[in-house]
Structure 1
């Protein structure tokens, strides 16, 4: 997937520096008297439930499934834990009706440590020419526990192009990356814009 690397670089905020890594225990004890920091820690869900991450699995973020949500239609659900599911995405395009409003939904788990600044990057090409590049900030998350076994994030709605020139086959490449520039999942996929479903 090296040919897509230039397209899939997250934007940078000038002057922003990634903070020092801390363990969950260090975050829990950090400035316990600081009310705003305590609210931030509570919003992440630190210190609730039993960690569910497998200590033998080094992955920090596991994308469990993706879905394409369209109003008044059943979701197109992709279970990424199924064997061969990621590889099949580029070979089994799905159809989107021209002009339809849709959004992506991701279900994922965070293990071992706080995941900082998870982003979704996507580049869409038609006949080898880039037609769009999107980036969505998903946020920062504490490791999942028995109290909260996974996270679900719905992306901002998008609208499929319409008109005769917009119809056809599209290829895309997407990835989930964090502030530390760790890529948690990168995959190629395909879809068709058609006059109807």
Structure 2
């Protein structure tokens, strides 16, 4: 296993896949208008007669937050990271999020699609303890058309390790990118496994 930074986010590429030229929402809207299966696919992406170009002053996809939830947290409580807030992201590099050993948890990503079509968006996460990589997540967010309302997708459902050897700080690198390799967000954060939340 290599721990070089360049290997951390390698995507499992499909042999022979070559991305097609990007298309606008209008081009997709008019593409094979009489093809029934393609019409259903376009509808699943939110591309219809009323689909507009969206806000092209923003990136195609904006990551809003990362949320960690657990049934063992007090009712209604969750741990949320505002990915759009540089001050909060900077703080997370030095002040770890405290988590409880052995507890089930879920991680959710909230995002908006501002314009165009996002194809095969995925969340990747590499967890290291010291120089050693201890876990890697490569979760599909999906393909979406323009929609200003935020979407939320669960990307991790797991259990924190427990025991004396598991306790301590872990470094996490997170990234969201699409099938064509376009990176929309990348950030680092720390969490600390302890006996309590």
Q: Name 1:66's counterpart in structure 2.
A: 66
Q: Name 2:187's counterpart in structure 1.
A: 187
Aligned residue for 1:150, secondary structure, equals strand
Deviations 1:71-101 (A, max 9, x none): 2421101122334122222222111111111
Query: What RMSD, in angstroms, separates the aligned Cα atoms of the two structures?
Result: 1.8
Offset of residue 161 of structure 1: 1.0
Q: Across the two proteins, how many residue pairs are aligned to each other?
A: 190
Whether the aligned pair in 1 keeps the contact of 2:172 and 2:189 (CA below 8 Å) is yes
Whether the aligned pair in 2 keeps the contact of 1:99 and 1:159 (CA below 8 Å) is yes
User: What are the equivalent positions in structure 2 for 1:1-197 lying under 5 Å apart?
Assistant: 4-47=5-48, 48=50, 52-53=54-55, 55-57=56-58, 59-73=59-73, 74-145=77-148, 149-197=149-197
Offset of residue 139 of structure 1: 0.8
Whether the aligned pair in 1 keeps the contact of 2:25 and 2:53 (CA below 8 Å) is no
TM-score, L = length of structure 2: 0.88
Q: Give every structure 1 segment of 4 or more consecutive aligned residues whose post-TM-superposition deviation is greater than 6 Å.
A: none
Aligned residue for 2:7, secondary structure, equals coil
Offset of residue 174 of structure 1: 1.0
Aligned residue for 1:85, secondary structure, equals helix
Q: 1:158 to 1:89 in 2, by over 3 A?
A: same
Offset of residue 6 of structure 1: 2.0
Aligned residue for 2:185, secondary structure, equals strand
Whether the aligned pair in 2 keeps the contact of 1:51 and 1:144 (CA below 8 Å) is no
Whether the aligned pair in 2 keeps the contact of 1:4 and 1:173 (CA below 8 Å) is no
